[in-house]
Amino acid sequence: MTSISTVTPANAGEPLAAWLQAAFEKAFGEAAQDTRLRVLPSTDPSFGDFQCNDAMGLAKTLRLPPRTIATRIVEALDTADAPATANIAGPGFINLAVTPGWLAGQLAALADDARFGLPDIGGGRTIIIDYSSPNVAKPMHIGHIRSTIIGNALDRLYQALGFKVIADNHLGDWGTQFGILINGFRAYADPGRLRDAPIEELERVYRESYARTEKDPEWLDACRAELVRLQQGDPDNLALWRQFIDLSLREFNRIYERLDVTFDLYRGESYYNDQLAATVALLEERGLARESEGALVVPLDDEGMPVCIVRKSDGGYNYATTDIATVLSREAEFQPDRIIYVTDERQQLHFRQFFAVCRKLGCTTRLEHVWFGLMRLPEGTFSTRQGNVIRLDALLDEAESRALAIIRESSPGMPEEQQQALARDIGIGAVKYADLSHDPQNMIVFTWDRALALDGNSGPYLQYAYARIRSLLDKYAEACPGCDPAKAPLLLQEPVERQLALQIMQYPATVVRAAENCKPSLLADHLYALSQLYSSFYQRFPILKADPAIRDSRARLCTLVARVLREGLGLLGIATPERI
- Asked if 526 and 503 touch (Cβ cutoff 8 Å), the reply is yes
467 binds RNA (CB under 7 A): yes
Name which of residues 2 to 61 contact RNA (CB under 7 A): 38, 40-44, 46-48, 51, 53-54, 56-57, 59
- Give the residue among 494, 505, 506 at the shortest CA–CA distance from 553: 494
- Asked if 577 and 565 touch (Cβ cutoff 8 Å), the reply is no
Q: Which is nearer to RNA, 194 or 528 (CB)?
A: 528
548 binds RNA (CB under 7 A): no
* Site track for RNA across 104-133, x = CB under 7 A: ------------------------------
Q: Which is nearer to RNA, 295 or 571 (CB)?
A: 295
424 binds RNA (CB under 7 A): no
Q: Measured from the CB of residue 319, what is the shortest distance to RNA in angstroms?
A: 4
Which residue type is seen at 51? Q
249 binds RNA (CB under 7 A): no
Q: What DSSP character marks residue 267?
A: -
**Residues contacting residue 355 through CB under 8 Å, at least 6 positions apart:** 367, 369
Q: Measured from the CB of residue 87, what is the shortest distance to RNA in angstroms?
A: 9
Give, to the nearest 10 degrees, the angle between helix 416-436 and helix 520-540.
120
521 binds RNA (CB under 7 A): yes
Q: Measured from the CB of residue 135, what is the shortest distance to RNA in angstroms?
A: 7
Name which of residues 59 to 98 contact RNA (CB under 7 A): 59, 66, 89-93, 95
Name residue 298's beta-bridge partners.
308
- Asked if 531 and 439 touch (Cβ cutoff 8 Å), the reply is no
Query: What's the CA gap between 43 and 51, in Å, rounded?
Result: 8
What is 58-97 written as a DSSP string? HHHHHTS-HHHHHHHHHHTS--TT-SEEEEEETTTEEEEE
- What is the side-by-side order of every strand in the sheet holding 126-130? 164-168, 126-130, 338-344, 366-372
The only residue of 262, 364, 401, 442 in contact with RNA, by rule CB under 7 A: 442
Residues in the chain: 580
CA distances to 83, 444, 514 from 439, rounded to whole Å, are 36, 10, 11
Q: Measured from the CB of residue 190, what is the shortest distance to RNA in angstroms?
A: 26
Q: Measured from the CB of residue 214, what is the shortest distance to RNA in angstroms?
A: 15
Q: Which is nearer to RNA, 194 or 537 (CB)?
A: 537
Q: Measured from the CB of residue 463, what is the shortest distance to RNA in angstroms?
A: 8
Q: Measured from the CB of residue 475, what is the shortest distance to RNA in angstroms?
A: 5
Q: Which is nearer to RNA, 183 or 322 (CB)?
A: 322
237 binds RNA (CB under 7 A): no
213 binds RNA (CB under 7 A): no
* Site track for RNA across 302-341, x = CB under 7 A: ----xx-x--xxx-x-xx--x-------------------
506 binds RNA (CB under 7 A): yes
Which part of the chain contacts RNA (CB under 7 A), choosing from 74-82, 117-125, 225-233, 436-444?
436-444
Query: What's the CA gap between 463 and 455, in Å, rounded?
Result: 11
